[in-house]
Amino acid sequence: MKVLLRADASATQGTGHVMRCLTLAHRLGDEGHSVTLATNESGVLWLEDLIRASGLNVVRVPQHSLDHNLLSHLAPDWLAVDSYEIDARRISEFRSVARVLAIVDGDDRGIDADLYLDHNVGAELLEWPTHVRPRLLAGSRFALIRQSIVDARRPQPWNFLADTPHIVAVMGGSDPTGTIVPVTRALCGLNNSFRATIVCASSWRAEVDALVADRDNFAVTEPTSEFPALLATCDVAVSAAGTSSWEFCTLGIPSVLIDVVDNQTLGLSELSSRGLAQAVSPAHRSTEEFVEAVRTAVGGLISDEQKRRAMSERCLESFDGRGTLRVVEAMSSAIQA
């Protein structure tokens, strides 16, 4: 198959759409398919490094655009679009020249597609339109997880790797809301013995550095393409409830997850109700209340091995790491039908 993936990223938009497409691209390539990524110049340095290192054929396009000339030139079998901004009617038009995979989050947006992918936990239970459901790949069975994350799974992730647990805090690839600042404050107030790595976008680096200046047990780093190696050493995570949350779930790492934007709230509620993570929302809380809620949640996970184990086991049951392959198989089957 020839596949064109279309997604954008920026410091304000975030990086999740492109990360999902990169994950799908690698699996497509591993299965022998030809892949092109069409994306904007994001300005996010670590993501641009990752794109360059991917070895993909990359075409740079204006943000939120979808150009008919590009499709005519590439003549793909599949157009996969991961975007909230590209007009649904515009995406649907291209179904006349290629099969369309719409990567969505709880809403088909009125797109007319051959396949719809929503890899959020519980997505299979939502009220989808009648025409969508037969073409729907939904739920954690189809989670787009990097192979490097799957390879880092360990047998009993609820057990600490050392006497002092390692906390990793990350609020997504760009953290446009600056949630890492109150999260860092929360971790600074913990009484438990631990070490922490704060993954902090450059926009918030000065504030975070000031908070941890006198604390030897804290390390601060900017988002990096080497994230899977960091997660392999993580015992407890504090994360935005976006793309990285599925990676923590796949690893079985006990996590406190935060809905930093509105479109994460529904998925986070489902994760929490299934016991896959502990949810803390900044909505309807003052900053001080939010800081205290994060501190209490993280401290509770560190102190309670039984709770960590139950959470880890549920995560490992729900995320088997084969979701990306299932998506590629569904695309291949549709071509052959």
pLDDT in tens, 249-292: 999 999 999 998 887 888 888 899 999 999 999 988 999 999 99
Query: What count of other Cβ atoms lies within 10 Å of the Cβ of residue 303?
Result: 11
Strand order in the sheet with 218-221: 218-221, 195-199, 166-170, 236-240, 255-258, 278-280
As a 3-state breakdown, the chain gives helix, strand, coil percent values, each rounded to 5, of: 40, 20, 40
DSSP 264: G
Pair 3, 28: CB distance under 8 Å: yes
pLDDT in tens, 25-83: 999 999 999 999 999 999 988 899 999 999 999 999 999 999 989 999 999 999 999 99
pLDDT at site 162? 94
pLDDT in tens, 174-186: 788 899 999 999 9
pLDDT at site 313? 96
Q: Is the pLDDT of residue 224 over 90?
A: no
pLDDT in tens, 78-126: 999 999 999 999 999 999 999 999 999 989 999 999 999 999 888 999 9
DSSP output for 85-149 = SS-HHHHHHGGGTSEEEEE-SS--TT---SEEEE-STTGGGS---TTTGGGEEESGGG----HHH
Pair 249, 319: CB distance under 8 Å: yes
pLDDT at site 277? 95
Rounded CA gap, 42 and 230, in Å? 23
Binning pLDDT at 50, 70 and 90, where does residue 229 land? confident
What is the pLDDT of the chain when averaged over all its residues? 93
Query: What count of other Cβ atoms lies within 10 Å of the Cβ of residue 32?
Result: 7
Q: Which two tokens mark 13?
A: 């938009």
Binning pLDDT at 50, 70 and 90, where does residue 242 land? confident
Q: Which two tokens mark 186?
A: 């929360």
Measured CA to CA in angstroms, residue 213 lies from 13, 164, 188, 206, 216 at distances of: 30, 20, 11, 10, 8
Rounded CA gap, 252 and 23, in Å? 19
pLDDT in tens, 295-315: 999 999 999 999 999 999 999
